Amino acid sequence: MTINPEVKDINNGYEYGWSNPEKYAIKAPKGLRRDVVEMISKAKDEPQWMLDFRLKALDIFNSKPMPEWGADLSGLNLDEIYYYIKPEGMNARSWDDVPEDVKNTFERLGIPEAERAALAGVGAQYESEMVYHNLKEEWEKLGVVFLSIEDGLKEYPELFREHFATIVPPEDNKFAAINSAVWSGGSFVYVPKGVKVDIPLQTYFRINAESSGQFERTLIIIDEGAQAHYIEGCTAPAYSSDSFHSGVIEIVVKEGARFRYSTIQNWSHNVYNLVTQRAAVYGNGVMEWVDGNLGSKVTMKYPACYLLEEGARGEVLSIAMAGRGQHQDAGAKIVHFAANTSGSIVSKSISKDSGRSSYRGLVKIYEGARNAKTNVECDALLLDEEARTDTYPYIEIEEKTARVGHEATVSKINDEQILYLQSRGLSEDQAAGLIVRGFIEPIAKELPLEYAVELNRLIELEMEGSVG
* φ, ψ for residue 5, nearest 5 deg: -70, -10
In-domain check, residue 400 = yes
* φ, ψ for residue 71, nearest 5 deg: -70, 160
Residue 440's contacts (CB-CB under 8 Å, 6 or more residues apart) are 319, 348, 350, 455, 456, 459
pLDDT at position 106 is 56
Summarised one tens digit per residue, pLDDT across range 63-100 is 999 998 989 999 999 999 999 988 765 555 555 666 56
In-domain check, residue 408 = yes
DSSP helix/strand/coil, 199: coil
pLDDT at position 274 is 96
Distances (CA, A) of 226 to 80, 163, 230, 347, 401: 43, 17, 13, 27, 31
In-domain check, residue 191 = yes
> What is the residue range of 59's domain?
24-463
Residue 389 has pLDDT above 80, yes or no: yes
Average pLDDT value for residue range 430-456: 74
Residue 337 has pLDDT above 70, yes or no: yes
Summarised one tens digit per residue, pLDDT across range 394-424 is 999 999 999 999 999 988 877 788 888 888 8
Residue 384 has pLDDT above 80, yes or no: yes
pLDDT at position 425 is 87
Residue 353 has pLDDT above 60, yes or no: yes
In-domain check, residue 4 = no
Q: Which of 226-240, 315-329, 447-461 shows the lowest mean pLDDT across its residues?
A: 447-461
pLDDT at position 176 is 97
Give the Cβ contact number of residue 161 at 10 Å. 15
pLDDT at position 432 is 79
DSSP helix/strand/coil, 331: strand
Distance CA 80, CA 262 (A): 31
* Overall pTM surpassing 0.75 (yes/no): yes
Residue 198 has pLDDT above 70, yes or no: yes
Q: Which of 235-239, 291-295, 325-329 shows the lowest mean pLDDT across its residues?
A: 235-239
Residue 301 has pLDDT above 80, yes or no: yes
Of 216, 182, 234, residue with least CA distance to 30:
182
pLDDT at position 136 is 79
In-domain check, residue 16 = no
DSSP letters along 126-156, please?
Answer: ETTEEEEEEE-HHHHTTT-EEEEHHHHHHHS
Q: Let me know: does 98 contact 87? Beta carbons within 8 Å.
A: no
**Of 463 and 17, which is predicted with more confidence?**
463
Give the Cβ contact number of residue 196 at 10 Å. 12
- pLDDT band of residue 426 (cuts 50, 70, 90) is confident
In-domain check, residue 121 = yes
pLDDT at position 311 is 98
Distance CA 427, CA 442 (A): 25
Of 167, 166, 207, residue with least CA distance to 83:
207
In-domain check, residue 10 = no
Buried b (16+ CB within 10 A) or exposed e, 278-288: bbbbbbbbbbb
DSSP helix/strand/coil, 450: helix
In-domain check, residue 9 = no
Average confidence score pLDDT of the chain: 85
Average pLDDT value for residue range 355-379: 96
Q: How many domains does the chain have?
A: 1
Q: Which of 34-38, 111-115, 262-266 shows the lowest mean pLDDT across its residues?
A: 111-115
Average pLDDT value for residue range 214-226: 96
Residue 417's identity, in one-letter code, is: Q
pLDDT at position 6 is 36
Average pLDDT value for residue range 93-122: 58
**Greatest alpha-carbon span in the chain:** 70
Give the Cβ contact number of residue 386 at 10 Å. 13
